């Protein structure tokens, strides 16, 4: 699943390409019904009808969520889930069978712009939800989000985790605690801080948590600069892959040698998620 750096890369791409544009038409191409949700407050109006004629005011990120603010005081709330993508392509580019939603933009003279936005998702888990602005933050999935990892101070980070009795890896993945981290950056940060993913949060020293906080922010910023990590299908809106995968030291490296001590990186299921770590450098 795309994590904070990947979603931030998509958001920045959308900010550069579609902000200020007015939606002319919205087409569906075999999009499953569960993919698109329209708030009941719109009294049964269709998703495409509601979007038509709306201007895109801004695009922002909250955790792993994309929030597209529209005229008419409404927001298109997007979650890419496992394999969702936004592509900003020339309309002459052949359609892919997984291009499920197409958004066309108005050009001067009532014509259609040569570039349009595609929502592509081969596993079809992505979600596009339309809500009025005054009800958006009451929705499950947004209301409960924890703090942003690039905004929290080291002092608040320590307090947040020292008050919990949980294994550190599941705690980092809990979006109600920290919003935006996933397997990739949790594994890489724990490896950098030499913390075992099963370590109980309340038993981690203040000094070690401050170190972990620093590594999380450093790695996220570096990954954003490198347009994210492409180890599966993730790309930016122009189809370009990220480059942070070249710097992975733990994630996706099970069976390889630790670059610090030479021990073998292992992959272990912790809770319902996998963790990659060095059993020698990250002792429990």
Q: Dump pLDDT digits (tens) for 27-57.
A: 998 888 899 999 999 999 999 999 999 999 9
CA distance 178 to 185: 12
End-to-end CA separation in angstroms for the chain: 28
CB 88 within 8 A of CB 238: yes
Note the pTM of the prediction, 2 decimals: 0.96
Domain assignment of residue 142, yes or no: no
Q: Based on the domain organization, do 222 and 103 belong to the same domain? A: no
How many CB atoms are located within 10 Å of the residue 41 CB?
Answer: 12
Question: Is residue 222 among the annotated active site residues?
Answer: no
CA distances from 257 to 33, 143, 261, 263 (A): 46, 42, 8, 5
Query: pLDDT value at position 30?
Result: 81
Question: Is residue 64 among the annotated active site residues?
Answer: yes
Mean pLDDT of all residues in 176-190: 98
Q: Based on the domain organization, do 107 and 229 belong to the same domain? A: no
| pLDDT cut 70: percent of the chain above it | 100
Domain assignment of residue 124, yes or no: yes
Beta-carbon contacts of 240 under 8 Å, excluding residues fewer than 6 positions away, are 227
pLDDT of residue 256 exceeding 90, the answer is yes
Q: Based on the domain organization, do 203 and 263 belong to the same domain? A: yes
Domain assignment of residue 25, yes or no: yes
Question: Is residue 3 among the annotated active site residues?
Answer: yes
CA distance 69 to 51: 11
Question: Is residue 194 among the annotated active site residues?
Answer: no
Mean pLDDT of all residues in 113-128: 96
CB 4 within 8 A of CB 220: yes
Range name among 12-21, 27-36, 144-153, 213-222 with the lowest pLDDT average: 27-36
Q: Based on the domain organization, do 38 and 9 belong to the same domain? A: yes
Looking at the chain, the number of H-run helices and the number of E-run strands are 7, 12
Query: pLDDT value at position 228?
Result: 96
CB 126 within 8 A of CB 35: yes
Catalytic residue among 2, 5, 170, 197: 2
- Helix, strand, coil tally for the chain in percent (to 5): 30, 25, 45
Query: pLDDT value at position 29?
Result: 81
Domain assignment of residue 91, yes or no: yes
Query: pLDDT value at position 196?
Result: 98
Task: Residue 78: name the closest of 27, 10, 22 by CA.
Answer: 10
Domain boundary among 136, 166, 194: 136
Catalytic residue among 3, 6, 104, 211: 3
Catalytic residue among 64, 169, 199, 253: 64
Say if residue 90 is exposed, middle or buried (CB neighbours under 10 Å; 0-12, 13-18, 19+): exposed
Q: Based on the domain organization, do 118 and 174 belong to the same domain? A: no
pLDDT of residue 146 exceeding 90, the answer is yes
Beta strands 23-28 and 99-107, pairing class: antiparallel
Domain assignment of residue 257, yes or no: yes
Q: Based on the domain organization, do 130 and 246 belong to the same domain? A: no
Mean pLDDT of the chain: 96
Beta-carbon contacts of 189 under 8 Å, excluding residues fewer than 6 positions away, are 172, 181, 212, 215, 216, 219
What's 235's domain CATH number? 1.10.8.50
Q: Based on the domain organization, do 121 and 88 belong to the same domain? A: yes
| Number of structural domains the chain divides into | 2
Q: Based on the domain organization, do 17 and 96 belong to the same domain? A: yes
Domain assignment of residue 23, yes or no: yes
Q: Based on the domain organization, do 8 and 112 belong to the same domain? A: yes
Query: pLDDT value at position 91?
Result: 96
Catalytic residue among 113, 124, 273, 279: 273
Q: Based on the domain organization, do 124 and 193 belong to the same domain? A: no
Domain assignment of residue 271, yes or no: yes
CA distance 133 to 21: 19
Q: What digits encode the pLDDT tens for the residues 186-236?
A: 999 999 999 999 999 999 999 999 999 999 999 999 999 999 999 888 999
Q: Which domain holds residue 86?
A: 4-136
The dihedral built from the CA positions of residue 101, 105, 111 and 112, taken in this order, carries a sign that is negative
Which string of DSSP letters, residue by residue, matches 196-208? -TT-BGGGS-HHH
Q: Based on the domain organization, do 112 and 186 belong to the same domain? A: no
Domain assignment of residue 35, yes or no: yes
Rg (CA), the chain: 20
Q: Based on the domain organization, do 119 and 73 belong to the same domain? A: yes
């Amino acid at each position: 699943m795309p994590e904070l750096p990947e979603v931030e890369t998509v958001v920045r791409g959308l900010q550069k390409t579609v902000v200020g544009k007015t939606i002319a038409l919205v087409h569906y191409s075999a999009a499953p019904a569960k993919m698109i949700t329209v708030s009941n407050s719109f009294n049964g109006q269709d998703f495409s009808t509601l979007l038509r004629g709306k201007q895109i005011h801004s695009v922002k990120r909250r955790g792993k969520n994309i929030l597209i603010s529209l005229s008419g005081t409404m927001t298109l709330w997007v979650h890419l889930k496992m394999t969702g993508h936004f592509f900003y392509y020339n309309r002459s580019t052949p359609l892919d069978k997984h291009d499920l939603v197409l958004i066309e933009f108005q050009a001067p003279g009532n014509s259609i712009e040569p570039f349009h936005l595609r929502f592509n998702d081969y596993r079809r888990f992505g979600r596009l939800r339309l809500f009025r602005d005054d009800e958006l933050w009451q929705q499950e999935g947004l209301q409960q989000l924890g703090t942003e990892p690039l905004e929290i101070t080291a002092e608040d980070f320590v307090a947040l985790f020292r008050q919990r009795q949980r294994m550190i890896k599941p705690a980092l993945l809990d979006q109600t605690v920290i919003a935006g981290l996933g397997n990739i950056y949790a594994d890489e940060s724990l490896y950098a801080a030499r913390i075992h993913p099963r370590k109980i949060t309340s038993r981690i020293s203040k000094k070690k948590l401050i170190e972990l906080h620093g590594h999380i922010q450093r790695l996220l910023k570096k990954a954003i600069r490198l347009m994210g990590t492409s180890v599966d299908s993730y790309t930016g809106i122009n189809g370009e892959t990220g480059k942070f995968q070249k710097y992975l030291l733990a994630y996706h490296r099970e069976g390889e040698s630790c670059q610090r001590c030479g021990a073998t990186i292992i992959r272990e299921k912790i809770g319902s998620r996998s963790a990659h770590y060095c059993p020698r450098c990250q002792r429990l």
